[in-house]
Amino acid sequence: SHDFIECREGEWFFGKHRKKGRSPFRQVSETMHSLREQVARELPELGNVVFWSAVAFPFVDFTASSPEWHPWQVIDRKDLTRKGIAEHVTNILGKARRYLESNPSARWFCPRGNRPTPADCRRIAEVLRPNFEFFESPRSRARRREEEIRYYTEKQTHALDTMEWNPRVAFVGPAGTGKTMLAVEAARRAAARGRRVLLLCFNRLLGYWMQEQVGDLAPAVFSGTFHHFLLCLTDDHPPAGHDPQFWEKELPEQAVEVLLSEDKRIRYPGFELPFDDLIIDEAQDLLKPAFLDVLDLVLDGGLRYGRWLIFGDFVNQSIYTPGAAATWETLEERLAPYISGFPIFRLADNCRNTPRIASFVETAARLNPGYTSVLRPDRIEYHDPELHFWDDREEQQQILIRTLESLWKEGFRGDDIVLLSTRAGPQSAASRISTSPWKERLRPCDSKGTGYIRHCTIHAFKGLEAPVVIVTDLEEIASPDARTLFYVAASRALDYLIVLARKQVRIDLVDIVTGNKRFQ
């Protein structure tokens, strides 16, 4: 594989540094005879099978000749541009047989013999390449993955560097472009400058994760969900049950009343108002008039003159407002009552998913705009996304159990795997598992403890990620809202994406991928 080769007085030199080495023809001949002897020992009846050797020089044109080799034992650059390597190997074996047939000293060779047969070839392969399986340890795989993702995510910090001198910036981009990590990094940078920072998101599980990431920065950084922040402001408690009216209207109004009645600077448990910097992740879910009124009051200088950074996917991840496909224009419209004109920085490089998952997500979700590039390299051990289709829920349960068994055999463990469903609670496939040991290995995503396979709704897991994501209970993908939800779920997978869908979804996926006009 060197781009420079020289043979001088029987000595070989390779590469630009002219490193001395053995004759490649002699090396490969010795290896060939060693393999032939191994086969003859274990399969004596195949001792007369023809073994031969050749040397490939893929980067140079090799024209030298020597009694040490036959010209047809050489494959060089010009040869490889004309034919594939398999055809060259076949030709070399054919010429070797003709050479042996014409050589009186090769009395052992029988030109009319029909060996090796296909069955013989399989037996020889077993001798030379016995079946074996080795798995990378879960700890090693996790460490390698974390280092790789950290490296490529850190490359995204150029966005913060580029916009450093702008006090107000919106960072927009699809899933996997590092928005959440950039929000956390921005909070760290602001805290290092002695500023008081409010770091907010929408999703509860993401809020817990962000609190863990910046917990060491308290009280300089107050982090959590927007609604948790409102509860702290109002000293209120959420009502029993699910009451959207309370979260969407009543609680924000209470917060505004409290803020208007208080002094400009007041201490609350865990933070002091006003904040010097406001940083919002999942901004597509938080830029609502009632919410913006609160944020305008807690930021020094308000939204018009204060320092804020917002991160969001305003085109593809508005899953909490069904049917309301947001755009970058609606981002500016939502903020228009508070500020006119602010820079928008587009994040377009995927630093989360493998190239295979990123490509699948782009195609299946009809992502527009898509990724400019995928930073993580493709590796031979990476998996293609898997699709399994079911007729009824019982069949889905069977597929799910088989999938978990396969993952366990491959070396994955509970902390690697998350099951995401379109259905909540007991209606999800994960909740209906009653087979041991899997029912004992499953826990909801918000439960404590480590080592368990986690499960929750797609909505609840938005903003987070996992090495292995299994999407269950997918019953349709034809509607825009269903495609958006599927996009959110599929883009959570770091290494391995598995989808369990009703058989009708197969037809819709084919139409989406092929560009059927009903999806244009």
pLDDT one-digit tens code per residue, 39-85: 889 998 888 899 999 999 887 888 888 889 999 999 988 887 777 78
**Segment of 105-114, 316-325, 472-481 carrying the highest mean pLDDT:** 472-481
Q: How far apart are CA 135 and CA 483, in angstroms?
A: 35
pLDDT band at 345 (very low <50, low <70, confident <90, very high): very high
Instruction: Provide mean pLDDT across the span 83-110.
Output: 88
Whether the per-residue pLDDT at 322 is higher than 80: the answer is: no
Residue 55 φ then ψ, to 5°: -125, 130
Least confident of 8-17, 303-312, 360-369: 8-17
| Cβ atoms of residues 71 and 79 within 8 Å | no
Using pLDDT thresholds of 50, 70 and 90, give the confidence band for residue 4. Answer: confident
pLDDT tens for 263-321 read: 656 667 778 899 999 999 999 999 999 999 999 999 999 999 999 999 999 877 554 55
* Residue 132 in this model has a pLDDT that exceeds 60: no
Q: 3-state class of 317 per DSSP?
A: coil
β partners of residue 501: 389, 474
| 23 closest CA partner among 55, 60, 59, 71 | 55
386 has pLDDT over 90:
yes
- How many CA atoms lie within 13 Å of 172's alpha carbon, on the beta-carbon side? 23
Least confident of 192-201, 302-311, 364-373, 453-462: 364-373
Q: Report pLDDT digits (tens) over 211-226.
A: 999 999 999 999 999 9
Task: Please tell me whether residue 163 adopts helix, strand or coil conformation.
Answer: coil
pLDDT of residue 326 exceeding 60: no
What is the pLDDT, as a whole number, of residue 242? 66
CA 36 remoteness from chain centre: 44
Q: How many residues does the chain have?
A: 520
Write out the residue limits of the CATH 3.40.50.300 domain(s) in the chain: 163-347, 355-519
What are the respective helix, strand and coil percentages of the chain, to the nearest 5?
A: 45, 20, 35
Mean pLDDT of 228-253: 87
Number of continuous H segments (helices) and E segments (strands) in the chain: 20, 21
Contacts of residue 418, Cβ cutoff 8 Å, sequence gap at least 6: 445, 453, 454, 455, 456, 461, 466, 468, 469, 470, 492
**At 324, is the pLDDT very low, low, confident or very high (cuts 50, 70, 90)?**
very low
pLDDT of residue 422: 95
Q: In this predicted structure, what is the pLDDT of residue 170?
A: 95
Q: For 381-397, what is the mean pLDDT? A: 92
- In whole angstroms, give the CA distance from residue 356 to residue 379: 10
What does the alpha-carbon distance between residue 322 and residue 129 come to, in Å, rounded to a whole number?
55
Class of the CATH-defined domain 163-347 = alpha beta
Tell me the average pLDDT across 194-200.
97
What is residue 15's DSSP assignment?
Answer: T
Cβ neighbours around 129 below 10 Å, total: 8
Phi, psi of 192 (to 5 degrees): -65, -25
Is residue 516 scored above 80 in pLDDT?
A: no
- pLDDT tier, 131 (very low <50, low <70, confident <90, very high otherwise): low
**47 φψ region: left (φ > 0), alpha (ψ -120 to 50), beta (else):** alpha
The strand pairing partners of 107, in sequence order, are: none
Question: For the segment 167-181, what is each residue's pLDDT rounded down to a tens digit?
Answer: 999 999 999 999 999
Higher pLDDT, 309 or 367: 309
pLDDT for 323: 47
Closest CA to 461 of 419, 407, 404, 513: 419
Kind plus residue range of the DSSP H or E element containing 186? helix 179-192
Q: How many CA atoms lie within 13 A of 270 on its CB side?
A: 16
Quote the pTM value: 0.72
Identify which of 217, 190, 209, 219 has the alpha carbon closest to the alpha carbon of residue 282.
Answer: 209
Closest CA to 463 of 183, 250, 113, 198: 183
With bands split at pLDDT 50, 70 and 90, how would you rate the model's confidence at 403? very high
Mean pLDDT score across all residues of the chain: 88
Check residue 264 and give its pLDDT.
Answer: 54
- How many CB atoms within 10 Å of residue 250? 15
Domain at 355-519, CATH class = alpha beta
Pairing mode, if any, of strands 386-390 and 373-374?
unpaired
Is there a contact between 52 and 93 (Cβ–Cβ < 8 Å)? yes
For residue 242, count CB atoms less than 10 angstroms from its CB and return exposed for 0-12, middle for 13-18, buried for 19 or more. Answer: exposed
